[in-house]
């Protein structure tokens, strides 16, 4: 196995994220699992701290870099995000998503927004609204419509399953300028919360990820400034150019979803080993798979599956930081880690029998939370399609 050493400055990020997971997330994880749709007020004080660290902070007097500057890297933001996300997800995988200022819409604005858009909206908590009642993974079938009326865009339509759609400050909305043109006419628009015509109509009750609010939002003659479109307002000749900015967002964020799976899977494995140790069972890792007991062999397999997913996520993040095309690797990491997280968390529940199923321990919550990680930001099947297209050199119209 290749053992990749994490640079010291990124180890600091890991250590701080683990401290946050242990001291803030884990003590309140069951509270917000039971109090679905309650605002997680404990997370608000840490939001600005996280944002300042991502911005790099200021230097101290005398030329010494601050802690935040030391942790920031000019060529390592994606790796930092993956490592930090994995550690925070060990505490509670949904709380990272529920932390103010950390939204998929923020990633979109950061990736393709103008300097003015980044200045105005980059510090806000921005959600992303893509899914509709009749359009999930098939983005070409979006019905939410946008038309230009003078100096304003007018939006009409409905979005569902909007993560952080209730508590956020703004939403990045995918809409079409002309549905008959398919993906070529799809654009994304920044809609601040409170804009007339935008309404949160429902909060979804969920199996897991309960601390993260998931909303349905309608847009009825919702008017926003002309400047609130992300990217070019013109209909593209090539669908890949039309969706290029959005896809770039996913190339950066899918490794982070993989990191969420890594965190919750590691939490389940650690708790499994802790519970087994109480029964005087400690796997030695000194036997081959074929000479180990059935329980030891299963632990070996889960650890190996975890390690494979971890390396894929690190590679995808490293490629993004080094400006290398990573669409295939981002989808590979998300698909592998999502599947691994589902299997490992549920298997840990099974191996602990009734204790794993009981709310006395968090294993059952880890299993419930992990399921969505194989679904949102592109299902397992969609990731496999993306990888197949990349490997075979085929377009979305050639391989559906």
Report DSSP letters for 343-375, one per residue.
Answer: HHHHHHHHHTHHHHHSTTSSHHHHHHHHGGGGT
Q: Which of 132, 158, 298, 377 is catalytic?
A: 377
Question: pTM of the entire structure?
Answer: 0.88
Query: Do 8-112 and 115-237 show the same overall fold?
Result: no
What are the pLDDT tens digits along the chain (400 aa)? 455 788 888 899 899 999 999 999 999 999 999 999 999 999 988 877 766 665 554 444 344 333 333 344 455 888 999 999 999 999 999 998 898 887 889 888 988 899 999 999 988 999 999 999 988 777 778 999 999 999 999 999 999 999 999 999 999 999 999 988 888 889 999 999 999 999 999 999 999 999 999 999 999 999 999 999 998 888 876 655 555 556 667 888 899 999 999 999 999 999 999 999 999 999 888 888 888 899 999 999 999 999 999 999 999 999 998 889 999 999 999 999 999 999 999 999 999 999 999 999 999 999 999 999 999 888 999 999 999 999 999 987 788 8
Annotation marks residue 364 as catalytic: no
> Which residues are registered as beta bridge partners of 325?
none
Sign of the Cα pseudo-torsion (27, 32, 34, 38, in order): positive
Q: Which contacts (CB < 8 Å, 24+ apart) does range 199-203 have?
A: 200/165, 200/166, 203/37, 203/166
Question: What residue has token string 């500057």?
Answer: 69
Q: Which fold has domain 242-392?
A: Butyryl-CoA Dehydrogenase, subunit A; domain 3 (1.20.140)
In 3-state terms, what secondary structure has residue 52? helix
Chain CA centroid to CA 48, Å? 19
Q: Transcribe 87-113 into DSSP letters.
A: HHHHH-HHHHHHSTT--HHHHHHHHH-
- So where are the chain's domains? 8-112, 115-237, 242-392
- Among candidates 39, 3, 41, 46, which has minimal Cα distance to 21? 46
Q: 1.10.8, 1.10.540, 1.20.120, 1.20.1260: which CATH number matches 8-112?
A: 1.10.540
Residues in contact with 268: Cβ distance below 8 Å, sequence separation at least 6, in sequence order: 344, 345, 348, 349, 363, 366, 367, 370
Distance CA 108, CA 124 (A): 13
CATH class entry, domain 115-237: mainly beta
The helix or strand, by DSSP H or E, that contains position 315, with its residue range, turns out to be: helix 294-321
Distance CA 355, CA 98 (A): 28
Token pair for residue 397? 């119209």
């Amino acid at each position: 196995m290749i053992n990749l050493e994490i640079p010291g400055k990124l180890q600091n990020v890991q250590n701080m994220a683990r401290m946050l997971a242990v001291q803030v997330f884990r003590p309140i994880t069951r509270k917000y699992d039971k109090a679905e749709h309650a605002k997680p007020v404990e997370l608000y004080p840490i939001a600005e701290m996280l944002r300042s660290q991502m911005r790099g902070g200021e230097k101290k007097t005398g030329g010494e870099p601050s802690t935040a500057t030391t942790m920031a890297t000019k060529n390592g933001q994606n790796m930092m995000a993956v490592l930090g996300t994995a550690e925070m997800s060990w505490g509670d995988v949904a709380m990272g998503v529920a932390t103010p200022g950390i939204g998929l819409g923020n990633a979109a604005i950061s990736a393709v927004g103008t300097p003015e858009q980044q200045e105005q909206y980059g510090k806000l908590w921005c959600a992303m609204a893509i899914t509709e009642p009749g359009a999930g993974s098939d983005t070409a079938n979006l019905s939410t419509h946008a038309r230009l009326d003078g100096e304003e865009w007018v939006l009409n339509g409905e979005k569902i399953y909007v993560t952080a759609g209730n508590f956020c400050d703004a939403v990045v909305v995918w809409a079409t300028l002309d549905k008959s043109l398919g993906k070529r006419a799809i654009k994304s628009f920044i809609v601040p919360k409170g804009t007339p015509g935008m309404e949160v109509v429902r909060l979804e009750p969920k199996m897991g990820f309960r601390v993260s609010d998931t909303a349905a939002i309608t847009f009825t003659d919702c008017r926003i400034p002309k400047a609130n479109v992300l990217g070019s307002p013109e209909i593209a000749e090539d669908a890949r150019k039309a969706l290029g900015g959005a896809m770039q967002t996913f190339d950066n964020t899918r490794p982070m979803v993989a990191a969420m799976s890594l965190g919750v899977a590691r939490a389940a494995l650690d708790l499994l080993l802790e519970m087994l140790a109480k029964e005087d069972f400690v796997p030695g890792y000194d036997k081959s798979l074929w000479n180990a007991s059935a329980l030891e062999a299963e632990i070996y397999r889960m650890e190996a599956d975890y390690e494979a997913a971890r390396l894929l996520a690190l590679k995808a993040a490293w490629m993004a930081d080094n400006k290398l095309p990573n669409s295939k690797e981002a989808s590979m990491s998300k698909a592998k880690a999502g599947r691994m997280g589902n299997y490992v968390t549920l298997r840990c529940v099974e191996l602990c029998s009734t204790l794993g199923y009981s709310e006395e321990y968090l294993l059952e919550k880890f299993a419930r939370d992990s399921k969505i990680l194989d679904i949102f930001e592109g299902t397992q099947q969609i990731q496999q399609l993306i990888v197949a297209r990349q490997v075979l050199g085929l377009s979305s119209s050639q391989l559906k």
